[in-house]
Amino acid sequence: MQTALKRFGYAAWFLLIALFVALHAWHLQADFPNHTPWFHDWAKYTDEGWYGNAAIRAHLFGDWYLPGDFNPAPAVPVWPFLEWLLFFATGVTVEAARGLAVAFYVLNLLLSGLLLRGRGPRWMPWLALTILATSPFLYCFSRLAILEPLLVTLTLAALNLAVRLPRMRHPAIGAAGVGLLFTLMLFTKTTAVFLLPALVWAKWAAFGPSRKVALRCIAVSGIVSALSFGAWMGCVARSGLMVDYHYLFFINSYPKPHNLWWPLVSFWWSLHGGLWVDHILVPFTGLIALATLAGWRAPWGCALRQDPVFGASVLAIAGYILFMTIQNHPQPRYFAVVFYFCAFLLAQGMGVFISSGGAIRRAGWGALAVAIGAIATNAAWVTGYAMHPEYTFIHAAQQLTRYIDEHPNGKRRLVSISGDEITLMTHLPSLCDDFSTPIPGMPDLPAKLGYYRPGWYAAWNDLDPGTLADLHTHFSLEQVATFHALDDPQRNALVLFKLHPLPGGRMRDQGDMNLRVVLPEDRIEIPVD
């Protein structure tokens, strides 16, 4: 009877998790949920189009590469390659791109369960999956066609392989697979380099006292990764695309303060950013890590410290916090990687605590009670998002495209920071005004504008003086329409401008500071700020 009840309980638990996972695949055209704590993350305006633009262009316009524009595919080719394959079956749609991200989210849960299976009480992996399935943070970011879901998939696949190397007849072959997966991680998102210590530790700890075999496997992984990485970089160099590769690092290099203590401030900013994810579960992760450090000699502390998954999770979190500290510009979406490892630490920690005795056991039950309360709150939050979808952004993109088609103005091409995103949604050809890869004959945005001669420009809420000056080198601007979308008070109105070429095709001097303000021939109503 007790066994039947347990089976029924786990079946009901599985159905509950499956229900919340299914909610992620519902209403894929809908906005990134409005009025969240993460409303200001630019990924919802830009990244889906930016990092998939090679696949989008290849299917819509016949060529993945747009000279002088933002072309990230040479540096991060894995995601656009997968989208390119997908679009043969689905066509270019935002639902297909987001559906691919959700598919990787589902795979991430399966890999998470596989990674934690057998490393504690039977309920422990289920607790971790429940935390991940009911997270409103992951609900928001796993439904965007961004790089993080795929990066997590590859990382978890590599960790699953790494911790199982000792059971393999030929562990060196498995280690080669880990090395290849790490290369794919790097070519999915370059920040994967900060996850390398977690993979190394997982291999080292999994072998226990067999250090020679562990070192051999680590070396094999490193050699395979270096060779595969070098092979791709050789292709990039021979294709003349190194400038596009380097440009990705250039645009992601943010200015650093001049004072000596800025790393401490940045570290606190990055660490405190974990509260973006969850106000209860993330602080509990820190408490479990500190408790393990304090009780490292106790049996329960040794059990956690020696577990390769627990240690790898600590190093993965630390590595990504280090990345955000060095960058000095943490963004909410970065924690879409971190939160998986927070869930692992929480579940493993509570599993060990509850399996212990005395005060530790009581602390574990108390932590579990708090976690269940947080999960219930998060589940209600996710349900609210899923039951009230909004479609403001795609409607704005469709209305903008319809306006352009109904009011021809030379070339149909749009210039906008969200241009690639709009292309994904409506197939309107576009250029990015924020990023322009410098190539011979096209060193900057004015040169790019002169080459492509677009007919339209779209800004969010206001005009940047520098961008206005670049546009003024070739055009005067006429504000013609406004389309309201999303919830960021600084970016909730997509403003469309008609670009009028200067008489006689002349070009103004881009060094003229007077171009940074509204000129008499312009018609601009929004602020220049």
Structure tokens at 484: 């309201």
Q: In 85-238, where do the E strands start and end?
A: none
pLDDT at 1 over 70: no
CB 171 within 8 A of CB 213: yes
**248-269 average pLDDT score:** 84
pLDDT at 296 over 80: no
Torsion angle, alpha carbons of 39, 386, 23, 140, to 10: 0
Lowest mean pLDDT among 4-13, 187-196, 456-465, 477-486: 4-13
> Nearest-CA neighbor of 133 among 153, 152, 157, 105?
105
pLDDT attached to residue 513: 73
482 bridge partner residues: 495
pLDDT tens figures, 366-424: 989 999 999 999 999 999 999 999 999 999 999 999 999 999 998 999 999 999 999 99
Q: What pLDDT band is residue 2 in, cutting at 50, 70 and 90?
A: low
Q: What pLDDT band is residue 262 in, cutting at 50, 70 and 90?
A: confident
Structure tokens at 350: 């509570």
Report the amino acid identity of residue 155.
T
pTM of the model: 0.95
Q: What pLDDT band is residue 294 in, cutting at 50, 70 and 90?
A: confident
What percent of the chain is modeled with pLDDT above 70? Answer: 100
> Nearest-CA neighbor of 336 among 119, 142, 73, 88?
142
Q: What pLDDT band is residue 4 in, cutting at 50, 70 and 90?
A: confident
pLDDT attached to residue 359: 85
pLDDT attached to residue 504: 80
For residue 301, what are the CA distances in angstroms to 82, 199, 347, 358?
A: 42, 21, 15, 14
pLDDT tens figures, 212-247: 999 999 999 999 999 999 999 999 999 999 999 999
- For the chain, the domains span 55-92+147-249, 393-516
pLDDT attached to residue 180: 98
> Nearest-CA neighbor of 264 among 274, 256, 254?
256
Label the pairing between strands 456-460 and 491-501. antiparallel
Mean pLDDT, all residues of the chain: 94
pLDDT attached to residue 255: 79
pLDDT tens figures, 79-134: 999 999 999 999 999 999 999 999 999 999 999 999 999 998 999 999 999 999 99
Phi/psi region, residue 431 (left: phi>0; alpha: psi -120 to 50; beta: rest), is beta
Query: CA–CA separation, 131 vs 367, rounded Å?
Result: 14
Q: What pLDDT band is residue 32 in, cutting at 50, 70 and 90?
A: very high
Lowest mean pLDDT among 175-184, 272-281, 368-377, 413-422: 272-281
Query: CA–CA separation, 386 vs 365, rounded Å?
Result: 31
Between 330 and 139, residue with greater pLDDT? 139
Query: CA–CA separation, 280 vs 7, rounded Å?
Result: 30
What is the radius of gyration, based on Cα positions, of the chain? 25
